Chain A
């Protein structure tokens, strides 16, 4: 069949398909879409095989691509439903990647505890990790004698700190995750580095004796913040491991598969860090409450985090 006849014969059908895809004309029957899609795809194949002009092939290809988008664009490749992710998706992603999560937690907390105790016993070690000014700054932050924490802060200071924590902490978490693509080495580095830094700072503050200001401050948001950093490291390690040991897949395929779970973990850690920033700015910073209240609420947050990660969405998990 000559191209002109082919075009003349099928142009009305292509027009109808195009209009249906755009959805302008309400009088057309939408139920015909699947059939038309099939026919147009067939026409594309015929046109290629008969070597019709590139222009015709382009036009048909455009229609087929648009149709393909309509039919396959909404597949739940990354289910973005917020509540589903909070309740089921994220905790399940953490549980089903337990080896990476344990590795992340270990790489973050073990150096943290080691340097906590080292700085507890030596008052000089901290200076080989941070500059003198840095040490003085954070000592002053938790100095019970200083009035910064002793008075109730203005609410606009809380707001500023909230935004600072978002900017800083989520940035660190993204960095820890993203650098995992280098065979996990980046995540490994950032986990250990942040672990050492935070552990050393905590150890030093304890050694100086500012425990009554420091621990009530950090115990609340720490539940979400510290675990979230470890989780984002775990997501990075998962990417890295997919490259090191891809199993039955090719490396790049393994990386794509790993990214599916990793992105859910990143969503979750981002949400946890937002929550942590909120608590840190508006709850942790308030110093009018007695220490016992802050410790109990802090313990409550830790328990909540652990229960959430271990149990949330389990029953639906089994049903799937």
Chain B
């Protein structure tokens, strides 16, 4: 099993989004509290301040599949270090230790820890045994370019095979000019003109994948 770790930049951006949402929420609650007025208003304000300050990430991460709204927007998610969904305990630890990551100010310790750790873990993640990863979207099988399969002109090395196959399979995600450019590199070895090289490589790719 493998997963793509989320780095400090994308995580910081997610934090900024979450922070903005929290500020906005507190602003709305402040208005509501002022409208209620008096001691009830104070009660509401203090209670929500406590909830938003300490429990906002915990509740989202535990009950919304490891994603706060900010993380969701950035397509990242919190998981245990064996890739299972994060639990209440893990989430609570990593978010309480936010207080430690924050020190001395502006999450300095957290950022240092994240950039130095091979798995981008901040102090809270290390203690809770959690990772932040890019949420893998379910991908479907790519279509093959429309070509007649052709055997390679000579035996290809394993890594060469992989390269040719990947080029064929990515014909929809790479721009045409870039594909031409890549194909042109090997055109001469294949004994082809640069402009016909791409189609030839696609044929070989299809053949290598098993089309006949």
Residues of chain A touching chain B, judged by Cβ–Cβ distance below 8 Å, are: 1-7, 44, 51, 53-56, 58-59, 61-62, 64-65, 68-69, 72-73, 75, 77-78, 80, 154, 156-157, 159-160, 162-164, 166-167, 170-171, 174-175, 177-179, 181-182, 186, 239, 252, 255-256, 258-260, 262-264, 266-267
Interface size on B, residues (CB 8 A): 54
Asked if A178 contacts B99 (CB within 8 A), the reply is: yes
Asked if A55 contacts B127 (CB within 8 A), the reply is: no
Given A62-B139, A178-B99, A262-B93, CB of A53 within 8 Å of CB of B165: yes
Residues of chain B touching chain A, judged by Cβ–Cβ distance below 8 Å, are: 1-3, 38-40, 42-47, 49-50, 53-54, 80, 82-85, 87-90, 92-93, 96-100, 103, 123, 126-129, 136, 138-142, 158, 161-162, 165-166, 169, 208-211
Interface centre among A51, A55, A162, A252 (most CB of B within 10 A): A55
Minimum CB–CB distance for B204 against chain A, Å: 13
Q: How many A-B residue pairs have CB under 8 A?
A: 150
What are 15 residue pairs bridging A and B, where the CB atoms are less than 8 Å apart in the complex?
A59-B139, A61-B2, A62-B139, A64-B1, A68-B1, A77-B90, A154-B39, A156-B40, A160-B43, A167-B50, A178-B99, A181-B100, A252-B126, A263-B93, A267-B89
Asked if A58 contacts B136 (CB within 8 A), the reply is: yes
The DSSP consensus for interface residues of chain B is: helix
Q: Which of B92, B126, B165 contacts A263 (CB 8 A)?
A: B92
- In Å, the complex CA distance between A4 and B208 comes to 9
Asked if A163 contacts B50 (CB within 8 A), the reply is: yes
Given A54-B166, A163-B43, CB of A179 within 8 Å of CB of B100: yes
Contacts of A51 in B (CB 8 A): 158, 161-162
- In Å, the complex CA distance between A164 and B39 comes to 11
